[in-house]
Amino acid sequence: MLVLAPITRDNLPDALGVRLTPAESHRVAPAALMLAKCHDRPGAQVWHPFLVAERGEPVGIVAVSIDRDDRLGGAQSAWVHNLLIQAEAQGRGLGRAAVAAILDWLSSEHPSVRRVGLNVRAGNDAAFALYSSFGFGDVGRTRDGRTIMLLEV
C-alpha cells in the first residue's frame, strides 16, 4: 500500500536519499532542491512536502502547494511539484498510486481546491501520459518549454 507521509526531521534522510538514474535526472529537480523550495515557500502558497512510501519503504517524494488566499471561501488552486519515484521502484504503478493519493489528500484536507496544476518537462512522455489519464489537460507552456497541465476537481 502506498502512503504519503509529511516530510519531517525523522524521515528527512529517507527523502534526501530518493534518486533517479543519471539518465532521468534532467526530468525532475533533485530532492534537496524541492525541499529547499518548500522551506522558502515561494509565492502566496503553503507547501506540503511528502515522502512516498510503499510498505514502509521510501520510494519517492512529491510536494503540493496550495494557494494561501482562498478569497473569502472561493475556489483555491493546488500545484503538484517534483513527483519523483526512485528508478528501481518505477514500472510498478507507484506514480499512478501517488497521483491518486495526492488527489485524495487534496479532497479531504483542502476541499476548497478546485484546480490542480503541474508542469511536465519536454520529452517526459510517461509523465505526460500518466497525468493525461487522470484528466489533466495541456493548457500551454512555461517560459522554459515545460507543458502546463490542469485538472478541474
32 pLDDT higher than 70:
no
Listed in sequence order, the residues at least 6 apart from 17 whose beta carbon sits closer than 8 Å to its beta carbon are 31, 58
* Percent of all residues in the chain with a pLDDT value above 70, rounded to a whole number: 80
pLDDT higher than 60, residue 145: yes
Architecture, CATH, for domain 2-152: 3-Layer(aba) Sandwich (3.40)
Which strands make up the sheet holding 147-152, listed edge to edge? Answer: 2-6, 45-54, 57-67, 76-85, 113-120, 147-152, 137-141
Question: What local confidence, expressed as pLDDT, does residue 18 receive?
Answer: 82
Domain ranges of the chain: 2-152
Long-range pairs for 71-78: beta carbons < 8 A, 24 or more residues apart: 73/112, 74/112, 75/112, 75/113, 75/114, 75/115, 76/110, 76/112, 76/113, 76/114, 76/115, 77/113, 77/114, 77/115, 77/116, 77/117, 78/106, 78/110, 78/113, 78/115, 78/116, 78/117
Position 72 scores a pLDDT of 47
Stronger pLDDT, 86 or 35, i.e. the higher one: 86
More confident residue, 7 or 74: 7
117-142 per-position pLDDT tens digit: 999 988 889 999 999 999 999 999 99
